[in-house]
Chain A
Amino acid sequence: MDLVRDVLDVRLVDRNGQGLGRVDSIVLRLRDNGPPQFVAMEVGLTAAARRLPKPIEFLARWLARTLRPRLQTVRYGPTLFRDIGVDIELDVSAADDPRLLRFEKWLSRHVVSRMPGGSA
């Protein structure tokens, strides 16, 4: 598997097909006795911000700090891979895990659902 071609910037989906974001960063752990290991994919504005030009990185980090709830980086391990194609399917469920898609869920519950026609 090629990390840059097959993983970086690829869209992640959960086992129900719900979008989890894109892989903004890939973490390698270095070891003394053995090859580096691919240990995590990071999804989030702060993770993506590192790859942006400085002024935009500054703005992205400010947004991540200022918005409520705060935009947090989520880490997924490669052991969660279910299927790798144009999208990567992970063995998680966003609906069942409160740590996932926090901002989306907050917007849905506290903003959109309170607007006319916005509720379920």
Chain B
Amino acid sequence: MKNLTKVGLGVLTSIGGFLEVGSLGTALQAGARYRYGLLWALALGTICVAFLTEMTGRLAAVSRHTMVDAMRKRFGVSFQIWPLMTQVVVDLLVLASEIGGASLALQLGTGVPMAVWAVPVALLVWALLWFGTFESIEHGVAALGLVTLSFVAAAVVLGPDWRDAARNLLPHTSNQHPAQYAYLAVGILGATISPYLITFYSSGGVEERWKPKDLMPNRVVAAVGMSFGSVVAMAAMIVAALVLAPRGVRADTYQQSAFILTIPFPRWGWTLFWTSLFIGCVGAALELSLDVAYTVSQSFGWDWGESQRPHEEARFAIVYSLMLLVAPIPALAGLDPLKFTMFSMAVTVVALPIVIGPLLVIMNDTQYLGSHTNGIVGNVAVAAIVALAFVLAVVAIPLQIAGGG
């Protein structure tokens, strides 16, 4: 039973990776413009993030320390300052997108403009962190996140050509607007293999007091948890292919796509869409707020932990409070969350090699991992993912200029 509840961490993490405003938005755009053509990007991203989360979970279980702890110790503050600053900037940008996404979801549900919702949403996220515990947040979001399975149900009801979809799980190029295709592929990979996912997961493992006996559950959690988000995101892409593409809807904004679930579910589709978006964005906002506080606290050796009361870890609590004070600003200014997200995803992609590169060293450190260091498969996987991250970092900005229109 306890192992079953551990899956909650995997599901919460994957919501932040696959079902937040950027990931869902790019999945819908990809489905609308290229049908099943970019399923492979989601599949590849899932495999990468499952490997990385398993590794950082293993680090947490064996050493009771996080990836940021290990990075600071092994590389020193003069190196660590760069991933730290990068992560804070990226997390803040993406957090702002999530507050915007959740506000937009409420606008879709109530008709009240999103700018009105920005501060209440930020306040809601803050209150959940301030008054809640890690466990309550984890299980609450994971349970509520089940509403996103409505995309899976919709895909089943719409009855796609599953063979055609399966064929597109292998990487391939497109002749149709190749720059835009590449841009969306990079966007999907960047939104999926997010640095905050990996650092958050290792902090979560320490929060949950994982031990070496949790190594096998960690593998299952990493695989099952990431698969949950991936399956829902793939289903969203498939539904977009079947509903938006034939109607010529490009899904440039969430408002364009919001009717998508009303085709398979005429009565509940609208509600299911905006509640899925809302829960996905709030879950991601919780994760991002915690991730910044974790990263800053661990970098400087402060006490940290969501399950402690705020007065017991004042600096930790103040960090996420400050982030949530600033994050609503773009939504208050009326910035479209999907466009803002595409910008923040490009920054995320550039940050990726800086944050995951050190895993090449950390996952081979016997002082932290004892006999549980990476084998040849793990090392090859990390090296390949880091290489992929460098490629993405180099092409992200030029592609945003060439294909982001």
Contacts and interface: CB of A to CB of B under 8 A. Distances in A.
Interface of A: 8-12, 18-22, 24, 43, 48, 51-53, 56, 86, 103-105, 107-108, 111-113, 115, 117-120
Nearest to A23: B301
Contacts of A43: 301
A19 B303 contact: yes
Interface in B58-103: 63-65, 69, 72-73, 76-78, 80-81, 85
Category for how many chain B residues contact A:
20 to 34
A118 B301 contact: no
Given A22-B300, A104-B302, A112-B318, A119 B311 contact: yes
B131 interface: yes
A12 B78 CA distance: 19
A120 B311 contact: yes
| Interface of B (DSSP majority class) | helix
A86 B65 contact: yes
B367 interface: yes
Nearest to B69: A11
B314 interface: yes
Nearest to A119: B311
B314 A52 contact: no
Given A9-B76, A12-B301, A113-B311, 14 more contacts: A9-B77, A11-B69, A19-B303, A22-B301, A53-B78, A53-B81, A104-B302, A104-B314, A104-B315, A107-B315, A112-B311, A118-B130, A118-B311, A119-B311
Given A11-B69, A22-B72, A86 B78 contact: no
A18 B303 contact: yes
For the complex of A and B, list the 7 residue pairs with the smallest distance between their C-beta atoms, beginning with the closest.
Answer: A22-B301, A107-B314, A108-B314, A19-B303, A21-B301, A11-B301, A112-B314
